[in-house]
Amino acid sequence: MEKQTPGGRPYKVIGTRPIRHDGEDKVTGRAQSGADISFRDQLYGKVLRSPHPHARIVSIDASKALAMPGVEAVITGAELPQPHDRMFLSGEGGVENFRYVNDRVLASGKALFEGHPIAAVAAKDIWTAEEAVKAIEVTYEVLPAVTDVLKAMQPDAPLLHEEITTETLGEKKKESTNVCRHTQHKRGDVDQGFSAADVVIEREFTTSTVHQGYIEPHNATALYRSDGQITIWTSTQAPFWVRRDVAELLELPLSTIKVVPLEIGGGFGGKIAVYLEPLAVLLSKKTGKPVKLVMNRQEVFLATGPASSTATRIKIGVKKDGTITAAAAHLVYEAGAFPSNWAVMGSMCVLAPYKMETLLIDAFDVLTNTPKVMAYRAPSSPQAIFGVESVLDEIALELGMDPLELRMKNAVEEGDRRADGPKFPRIGLKETIQAAMDSEHYKSPAPSGPNQSRAVAVGFWFNAGLQSSATVGINMDGTASVVTGSVDIGGSRASMAMMAAEALGLKAEEVRPSVADTDAIGHTDVTGGSRTTFATGMAVYEACQDVLGQLKKRVATLWELPEEEIEFDGSAFQHADNGKDPMTVKELGAKLTATGGPVMGHSSVAPTGVGASFGVHIADVEVDPETGKVTVLRYTVVQDVGQAIHPSYVEGQMQGGAVQGIGWALNEEYVRNDEGKMMNPSFLDYRVPTMLDVPSIETILVEVPNPGHPYGVRGVGETPIVPPLGTLHNAIARAVGVRMRSLPMSPPKLSAALQAKGLEAIAAPTP
């Protein structure tokens, strides 16, 4: 594994751990998040939401609200332009149709989920706005609702969108259905594959709807000026997508809209789609004043996109030596109230880590009376891979094989194909499994007390490329500034500054990174998909090359030598044999004015060499047989990170992802009553792990550089949320002998399962 710059030199900045450039602002709370910004004459908005998961809106009467002192405007879905077909790249599940965004933002004919926006109010203060919302009179015709994906697939299920008819593998039928998409991948004859196996195991799994659980609620402040110029201040992962979505929804040119991204208090994929932004813009247009909306926690749970609940069936066949001969996956994903593509993505992830000659994957996106699901860290992968890792664990036990040996035997490597077709470039799954095998954790004795055990699981995420832009300027003292359009959600200011410093021969502290608004930098896609350090980093690298090219001309002028004879060796400009002292970028800074003025470099990229990332997690657990509470005794995340730019942030991503996965596995779920209403829309009842619930997560960074990036970068943020579901499931199974195939493995569910199994079995587990 070569750890060096493209020029073959050892790294000077990359791989070090400087203090993050935005650290002080973050730890002191000075960083300005969405809700922190306010303007003179600002109004406060509030959204009226449907109390019913499914209901026809018969009438809306806002007259009483409008008559209240201090209420300045009320809007309903009727004020949005007609929906139109237009495909777009989104955080709502890849490529989506814009047709369904209008209705999601503000309902027109029907309320399709509890919390669906029905109307919005702008008033002089938040209290007046809240009272005004209550004064709006809506007449609903309540309809039967369906919130369970399998029930929603039944022929007699209540239908969400009459116009959606079954589309099975490209063939359209006439019957209306809640199945908005069916995707299939096939390789070889899967039946023959299973026949060739010595052991075949097939199991069914379910996972619950879970929320990203970011601390900062959604927010938007907008000003619609009388000349049609619009500014939106919001905490978002994708300011350019907010601009596009608002332009599309309100049928405006992009050039009239500026989106100013504020500091973001967590996103994890959930802060990509627009919710409040178009409402703030419409309310500001009506009132001529800036309008601010901030959700409360209940609104965040009810009305923003969580990750799909799923029902999956996984079947794997292996030879006695562990070689997989065939696998079949049947994946059903909750779409929520509008069409989605998450099952499509699940189908691409589910079998990705393993080689096999034959496979069959069927994936279904299913409409339910729940909020439209959205991206959540490695979206769709955790639910899909969970079942595979459980079945493989059973197979390893059946074969008496070390579970990592079994994975190593079948692990994909360069040249192998993913189920959906693409060939893997250089990847590091085998190196990662090996590193897990070699780890102190895995080599240490497994915990052997009562109801204790150890287990492992594998995870995978594609990582994304998309488009990014960067500008790099050289200051008069030779320090540099770096501007990108990528919102910083996980330390990207630091990583961008470090990559620029590496390229220019500067120190990390000598580069000042910043995030620009949509007017101030070229198009840049979402901060998400673990694409930022890769793609925006590449734009920064290329912009630095642009700068170096310009600086070389300056050195040539100063030295009166041909440009071609001058080299930049990573530290300074050099000439082989003219005896000139090398000249650094820092030294050149002061000479810019005299040699032709300022130097700025720019790059816009849409890179293709994306490097997938694989991880292996190891967990030691202990189950309390009486309460069903699971204590994670030790937890290690091993992951191929390509090249860690700032190792502390890579470790932080791995730790954070693992903890979110642990929450998903053990506790988090949307609890719904018979009417389909959520019973736990608060952090008191929707239980995310706290510091007290998890041990310090250990991390092992495996660095198999991605050949598609000058510094070998792979995305690192998503993969670590994938393995915890299988890892903890396997560890619990090995500890207490019950396979909890329905997540979460929460204390009530686990204790009930243990009761069912009988206490004697628990005392002497036979996994």
The amino acid present at 740, given as its one-letter code, is M
Q: Residue 547 CB, nearest distance to its own copies (Å)? A: 10
For 408, other C-beta atoms within 10 Å of its C-beta total 18
- DSSP helix, strand, coil percent of the chain (3-state; round to 5): 30, 25, 40
For 513, other C-beta atoms within 10 Å of its C-beta total 28
What is the distance between the alpha carbons of residues 51 and 373, in angstroms, rounded to a whole number? 19
What is the distance between the alpha carbons of residues 301 and 685, in angstroms, rounded to a whole number? 11
User: What one-character-per-residue DSSP string does 410-424 give?
Assistant: HB--TT-B-TTSPBP
Which of residues 151 and 512 has its CB atom nearest to its own copies in the complex?
512
Q: What is the DSSP letter of 452?
A: E
Counted residue by residue, the chain has a size of 767
Q: Residue 397 CB, nearest distance to its own copies (Å)? A: 48
Which of residues 185 and 586 has its CB atom nearest to its own copies in the complex?
586
Region of 659 please: left (phi>0), alpha (psi -120 to 50) or beta.
alpha
**C-alpha to C-alpha distances, 15 to 434, 481, 489, nearest whole angstrom:** 22, 20, 20
Which of residues 150 and 254 has its CB atom nearest to its own copies in the complex?
254
**600: Cα separation from own chain's centroid:** 32
Q: Which tokens is 216 given?
A: 């900062």
User: What one-character-per-residue DSSP string does 246-315 give?
Assistant: HHHHHT--GGGEEEEEPB-S--TTSSSS-SSHHHHHHHHHHHSS-EEEE--HHHHHHHS--BPPEEEEEE
Which of residues 40 and 443 has its CB atom nearest to its own copies in the complex?
40
Q: Residue 706 CB, nearest distance to its own copies (Å)? A: 19
Which of residues 324 and 540 has its CB atom nearest to its own copies in the complex?
540
**137: Cα separation from own chain's centroid:** 38
What is the distance between the alpha carbons of residues 202 and 311, in angstroms, rounded to a whole number? 14
Q: Residue 557 CB, nearest distance to its own copies (Å)? A: 13
Q: Residue 92 CB, nearest distance to its own copies (Å)? A: 18
What is the distance between the alpha carbons of residues 522 and 702, in angstroms, rounded to a whole number? 33
For residues 621 and 452, the answer to whether their CB atoms sit within 8 Å is yes
Note the residues at the interface with its own copies (CB under 8 A): 19, 21, 23-25, 28, 30, 39-40, 223, 225-227, 229, 244, 247, 253-256, 258, 467-469, 471, 473-477, 479-481, 483, 509-514, 516-524, 592-593, 596-606
Q: Residue 605 CB, nearest distance to its own copies (Å)? A: 6
Q: Residue 254 CB, nearest distance to its own copies (Å)? A: 4
If we measure between CA atoms, which residue out of 466, 458, 747 comes closest to residue 625?
747
Q: Residue 105 CB, nearest distance to its own copies (Å)? A: 20
**C-alpha to C-alpha distances, 440 to 423, 445, 627, 631, nearest whole angstrom:** 33, 10, 31, 20
Q: Could you give the angle at the alpha carbon of 287 between the alpha carbons of 284 and 291, nearest 5°? A: 40
If we measure between CA atoms, which residue out of 473, 474, 468, 501 comes closest to residue 487?
468
For 206, other C-beta atoms within 10 Å of its C-beta total 18
Which of residues 259 and 329 has its CB atom nearest to its own copies in the complex?
259
Annotated catalytic residue within 299, 622, 703, 718: 718
Which of residues 10 and 228 has its CB atom nearest to its own copies in the complex?
228
If we measure between CA atoms, which residue out of 503, 606, 611 comes closest to residue 549?
503
Which of residues 478 and 747 has its CB atom nearest to its own copies in the complex?
478
The reply to whether 718 belongs to the active site is yes
Which of residues 529 and 726 has its CB atom nearest to its own copies in the complex?
529
**200: Cα separation from own chain's centroid:** 33
Strand partners of residue 630: 623
Which of residues 313 and 602 has its CB atom nearest to its own copies in the complex?
602
If we measure between CA atoms, which residue out of 202, 218, 636 comes closest to residue 440?
636
Return the sign of the alpha-carbon dihedral for residues 350, 355, 356, 357.
positive
Peptide bond into 744 cis (omega under 30): yes
Residues 6+ apart with CB under 8 A from 742: 205, 206, 207, 749
**C-alpha to C-alpha distances, 610 to 2, 329, 346, 530, 645, nearest whole angstrom:** 18, 26, 19, 10, 16
Which of residues 310 and 603 has its CB atom nearest to its own copies in the complex?
603
Residues 6+ apart with CB under 8 A from 756: none
Q: At what angle do helices 723-736 and 647-666 cross, to 10 degrees?
A: 50
Which of residues 24 and 141 has its CB atom nearest to its own copies in the complex?
24
Q: Residue 221 CB, nearest distance to its own copies (Å)? A: 13
Which of residues 188 and 288 has its CB atom nearest to its own copies in the complex?
288
Q: Residue 72 CB, nearest distance to its own copies (Å)? A: 16
Q: Residue 353 CB, nearest distance to its own copies (Å)? A: 30
Question: 747 — phi, psi (to 5°)?
Answer: -50, -50
Q: Residue 78 CB, nearest distance to its own copies (Å)? A: 26
For residues 236 and 374, the answer to whether their CB atoms sit within 8 Å is no
Exposure letters 596-605 (e unless 16+ CB within 10 A, then b): eeebbbbbbb
Q: Residue 699 CB, nearest distance to its own copies (Å)? A: 25
Active site residues: 718
